[in-house]
């Protein structure tokens, strides 16, 4: 029952973030005079639907793993023959209008992140988690390697750490392996080899360092201070995410740290279990991820469409149909491949493969 509640909570969190993203596209389309034919939360057959006074069909669909806004004329090229009623078609709008409608989804995700950070900072204060070791597990990997309370962890295997969560993710991905831990001790830089502990979690092995980090909260901020602080925090997190993605692309860290839809829903449910502040923080983080990743210049994503519009603005005409078709096919293969890879990571992390092999013939 508890697992079911976590799954439902995770689906609700994921649905909220997707809804805000699609709401950005919808409101921008209405502003620029584009007819929105469908606003769907989820994919597949509609479980329930209704039509509003401007002709948009709102629906909740069977598979609650995303959503979409269908715009009249989105599938057609700007230079396609005109048809009756095309004055409200997406493809008949200017490059600027199409770009505004496209970028509005990620922008709304950023705004949601900032808003949630304002709420967290003004109601709960700023959590201050430093990579300083506060406790050592008895006979744990860190204690055996000579790490001490008060040491500040700065690098793992020579790579600068991004956050406490970054330390946890990298350590978990290397059970039983030797990891070089760069730290600062009383003003002196050290590097110690640590053989990570190997523990069972969710039916699979994960690494453990055996340390606890001190986390404190500052006093709640007044709203006028929370707003710029939230914007700064959002900006810093964008930088950390981009750096983390680059480290995965360049092979500096394991790609097994990538999570997909299943993992996100699982983590969402766990965050909700920890309380209001944890849930709001996770929604903010998820919203920021969705907005930032959608801006990547990959065909099929918002960033890919923005790239097409940029070429159109420079050339004075759309890219050829063949060029766009090849680009979209490449983008589709890339997105599907990433989805499959991240789903395999999620299933591995949840111990599904371990269970199948253990109960196989």
Name the nearest CA neighbour of 290 among 17, 28, 31, 13: 17
CB 10 within 8 A of CB 267: yes
Q: Residue for token digits 């606890």?
A: 212
Complete DSSP assignment for 280-313: HHHHHHHHHHHHHHHTSS-TTSHHHHHHHHHHHH
| Residue 60 φ/ψ, nearest 5 degrees | -110, 120
- Marked catalytic residue, from 22, 75, 84, 87: 22
DSSP symbol at 161: P
Q: Could you give the CA distance from residue 231 to residue 147 in angstroms, rounded to a whole number? A: 36
CB 347 within 8 A of CB 353: yes
| Residue 81 φ/ψ, nearest 5 degrees | -60, 145
CB 145 within 8 A of CB 193: yes
Distances in Å between the alpha carbon of 253 and those of 184, 258, 288, 341, 346? 22, 11, 22, 16, 17
Residues ≥6 apart with Cβ < 8 Å to 357: none
Q: Could you give the CA distance from residue 114 to residue 333 in angstroms, rounded to a whole number? A: 33
Residues ≥6 apart with Cβ < 8 Å to 294: 21, 105, 106, 109, 301, 302, 303
Q: Could you give the CA distance from residue 302 to residue 21 in angstroms, rounded to a whole number? A: 11
Active site residue 75: no
Which residue pairs from 289-295 have beta carbons closer than 8 angstroms and sit at least 24 positions apart in sequence? 289/241, 290/17, 290/18, 290/21, 290/106, 290/109, 291/21, 291/105, 291/106, 291/107, 291/108, 291/109, 291/110, 291/113, 292/106, 292/238, 292/241, 292/242, 294/21, 294/105, 294/106, 294/109, 295/103, 295/106
Catalytic residues: 22
């Amino acid at each position: 029952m508890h697992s079911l509640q976590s799954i439902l909570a995770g689906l609700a969190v994921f649905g909220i973030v997707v809804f805000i993203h699609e709401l950005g596209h919808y409101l921008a389309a209405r502003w620029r005079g584009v007819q929105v034919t469908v606003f769907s939360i989820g994919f597949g057959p509609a479980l329930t639907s209704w039509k509003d006074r401007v002709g948009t069909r709102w629906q909740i669909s069977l598979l609650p793993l995303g959503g979409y806004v269908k715009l009249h004329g989105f599938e057609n090229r700007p230079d396609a023959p005109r048809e009756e009623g095309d004055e409200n078609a997406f493809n008949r709008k200017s490059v600027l209008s199409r770009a505004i409608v496209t970028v509005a989804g990620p922008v709304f995700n950023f705004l949601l992140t900032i808003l949630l950070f304002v709420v967290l900072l003004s109601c709960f204060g700023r959590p201050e988690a430093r990579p300083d070791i506060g406790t050592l597990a008895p006979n744990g990997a860190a204690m055996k390697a000579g790490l001490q309370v008060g040491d500040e962890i700065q690098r793992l295997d020579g790579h600068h750490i991004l956050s406490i969560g970054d330390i946890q993710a990298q350590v978990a991905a290397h059970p039983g392996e030797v990891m070089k831990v760069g730290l600062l001790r009383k003003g002196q830089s050290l590097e110690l080899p640590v053989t990570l502990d190997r523990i069972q979690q969710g039916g699979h092995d994960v690494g453990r360092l055996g340390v606890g980090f001190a986390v404190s909260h500052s006093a709640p901020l007044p709203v006028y201070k929370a707003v710029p602080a939230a914007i700064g925090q959002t900006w810093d997190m964008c930088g950390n995410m981009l750096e983390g993605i680059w480290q995965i692309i360049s092979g500096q860290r394991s790609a097994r740290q990538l999570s997909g839809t299943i993992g996100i829903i699982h983590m969402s449910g766990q965050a909700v279990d920890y309380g209001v502040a944890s849930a709001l923080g996770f929604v903010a983080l998820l919203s920021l991820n969705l907005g930032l990743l959608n801006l990547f210049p990959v065909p099929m994503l918002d960033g890919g469409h923005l790239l097409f519009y940029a070429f159109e603005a420079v050339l004075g005409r759309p890219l050829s149909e063949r060029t766009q078709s090849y680009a979209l096919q490449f983008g589709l293969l890339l997105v599907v491949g990433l989805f499959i890879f991240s789903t395999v990571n999620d299933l591995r992390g949840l111990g599904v493969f371990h269970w199948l092999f253990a109960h196989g013939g």
